[in-house]
Amino acid sequence: MSAAALTLPLAEAAVLAALASAAVSPLAARWPRALSLLAFPLLGLAAVCALAAGTLALGFDVAQGAVLPLGLPWLPWQLSVDPLAGVFLLMLGAVLLPVSVYGPGYAREFRNGRDSLATLGVSTGLFVAGMLGVLLAADAYLFMVAWELMSLASYFLVCFQHEHADHRRAAFVYLLLAHVAGLLILLAFGVLAAAGGGFSFAAMRAAHPDALWAAIAFALALAGFGAKAGLVPLHVWLPEAHPAAPSHISALMSAVMLKVALYGFLRVTFDLLGVPQWGYGVTLVVVGSASAVLGVLLALQQSDLKRLLAYSSIENLGIVFLALGLAQIFQAAGHPALAALALLAALYQALNHALLKGLLFLGAGAVLHGAHTRSLDRLGGLLRRMPRTGWMFLIGCLGMAAVPPLNGFVSEWLTFQAALQAWRLHDGLLRILVPLAAAALALTAALAATVFVRAYGIAFLGRARSRSTRHAHEVGGGMLAGQALLVAGIAVAALLPGPLLGLLGRAALQLTGSAPAGTGWLWLTPLDPATSSYAPLPILAVLLAVGALGVLLLRPRQGAAVRRADPWDCGYAPPTPRMQYSAAGFAQPQRRVFAPAYALRETTAADRHEVEVGDRTWVWLYRPLGMLADRAADLARRAQAGHVRRYLAWSLITLLVLLWIVS
């Protein structure tokens, strides 16, 4: 069997390994070490198989399919692996492998508690199997089965520590929006199936629905997949659910599950719908820009470390959808090469976000494990007590802040390169809209740098702000190894973007019909080499040379006396930890400038000033909807008050209406 022919069997093996991990996890109820010795190693095997399958699908540019003897008699399950699925298999494996190494150490703290290790293992295995099933599905039936499995399993992971009321609330909000999203996706597939005469993706791809039904399918797909991806205004579940889940699950949800939603949207809109429309692109650019800006503004005001990372995920998925909108606009305008560039930027942004956010959530879990808090206002000085975690967390923060030569810079730079080609468009509205989107992206990038300077400076620098932080300790070798694996992936994506972009370009070629150019080993030249080029290795060499020179110049001479003393304190009393900048104080200037974006409530007591920053989406959208639902439920309760006469009246009215309809 050739290497290319192994693609689908390896992907199937990944699903079986994830299901096997779920199957052995009930042993943990009596034998807690079953998770460490059986369940997590099987997840690691699933990750290796997914990595291999994704690499082969992209490296050999293959598309393989199979029909399983499962499902309904007239509707068997169909599997397929193509370059688009290969991209997301690669992402899943790249994050799942470090999680499988990190997980045993993190789950050890649950052994002596009331939380069920068996539930954790079973739900995690089914969650991974559901995500893999979505990526392999070649028909709407299997896609929806796997999608619901992914959603339900992740619900049990969000409410894993269900004794906390806020976790139960987060799980309820997540399940509610997950089922609304599933219904919208099902309706989108229904529209495509009606046009194609079948539920297989091949039949949908061959059909060409008229403009109205295509627009309806696009709107349903955007709302359904956008809700799962955390796009504004359907994002409210994300900052509630991600902090509630165990940290290694938060890493999978943010780094992988959101990308599975992105995959579903790409599959429907770029593959099954086929013909691009500039109106679709405008919608994606507007929604993506709003999500990016609002996500980073809300992240800037968070004091909970995991909640901050969750809002940052909204920002990054907004950037991805903004790039997808550019791809749709350029494709509809007859510029397939620019469309391929924008799509490649979106895919690389998704891959970079998976690696970076996976690292940061694992780092946040290490902070919670070592310092027993994730509140920025109680942290501080962790770099001394958790140096290995601190340095790896710094790499993640720099990457998320898009500092060159790290990988976060590459994808945002590619997005800017695509947006700066707005002059090639002939429509005046688009030539105004795209530069405005580029300006929103620039604002987002600047604020993102502020977010992660604040997060790292408050948590790891300065002095400890609480007793638990003063006694923080470094985590074990397995948890450090999981973070180190992600650091290695970030280094590859940062220093060798050319080969990775060459692989991702196979998916861009599949969806746009054009392959991006300028993805060499050393230099990236996506457009004209004279106007836009990027080389991370020379930049790294210059930085290392400057750093080495600085060390040589500032190093004390041998034998010279070195005097150590406290810094000058201007004659005041020695500073205390309370005199440091707090998380709220650091973000106060931005809070004043962007006050209309927040639902603010400030209270001042004798010696304390407290600020609560809420999301106006709850005030403007979800609270009125909740009140409307309460009123509807009250009317239904009154209609069914238990009186026989009312029941008979409703039955008579229903009978008369049905007779009128039939006649």
Please give the structure tokens belonging to residue 494. 């940062």
CA dist 562 and 586 (Å) reads 34
pLDDT value of position 586: 81
Domain enclosing residue 645, as ranges:
617-662
Say if 172 falls within a structural domain.
yes
Q: By the 8 A CB rule, do 26 and 122 touch?
A: yes
Whole-structure pTM value: 0.92
The burial class, CB within 10 Å (0-12 / 13-18 / 19+), for 546 is exposed
Helix axes 536-554, 477-495, angle to 10 degrees: 120
Mean pLDDT by 10 residues, the chain (663 residues): 80 95 91 90 96 91 81 83 93 96 89 82 95 94 94 93 88 93 94 87 87 92 94 91 92 94 94 85 94 93 92 95 94 89 94 95 93 89 92 94 90 90 84 91 93 92 86 91 95 90 89 75 74 82 86 74 73 72 80 83 71 82 85 77 73 86 77
Domains of the chain: total: 2
Q: Is 114 domain-assigned?
A: yes
Note the pLDDT of residue 640. Answer: 66
- Return d(Cα 177, Cα 180) in angstroms, integer: 5
**Given this model, what pLDDT does residue 559 score?**
66
Task: Provide the pLDDT for residue 519.
Answer: 65
Locus of tokens 């052995």 = 24
Query: Which of 234, 252, 270 represents a domain boundary (last residue)?
Result: 252
CA–CA–CA angle 517, 522, 527 (5° rounding): 30
Between CA 492 and CA 343, with CA 252 as vertex, the angle to 5 degrees is: 55
Q: How far is the C-alpha of 174 from the C-alpha of 154, rounded, in Å?
A: 9
Check if the beta carbon of residue 36 is closer than 8 Å to that of residue 132. Answer: no
The verdict on residue 170 lying in a domain is yes
Q: What is the pLDDT of residue 446?
A: 93
- Which of 252, 287, 319 terminates a domain? The answer is 252
Q: Give the 3-state secondary structure of 158-215.
A: HCCCCCCHHHHHHHHHHHHHHHHHHHHHHHHHHHHHHHHCCCEHHHHHHCCCCHHHHH
Residue 1: predicted pLDDT: 60
Residue 362 lies in a domain: no
Q: Is residue 651 part of a domain?
A: yes
Token readout for 437 is: 């989107």
Residue 65 falls inside a structural domain: yes
Last residue of a domain, one of 252, 270, 291: 252
The token pair that represents 22 in the structure block? 């779920």
454 contacts 300 by C-beta, under 8 angstroms: yes
**Residue 623, C-beta contacts closer than 8 angstroms, at least 6 positions apart:** none
* Tokens encoding 498: 């050319």
Let me know if residue 472 belongs to a domain: no
Measured distance between the N- and C-terminal CA atoms of the chain, rounded to whole angstroms: 65
Do 202 and 144 touch, CB atoms closer than 8 A?
no
Domain assignment of residue 181, yes or no: yes
Query: What is the H or E stretch that residue 300 is in?
Result: none
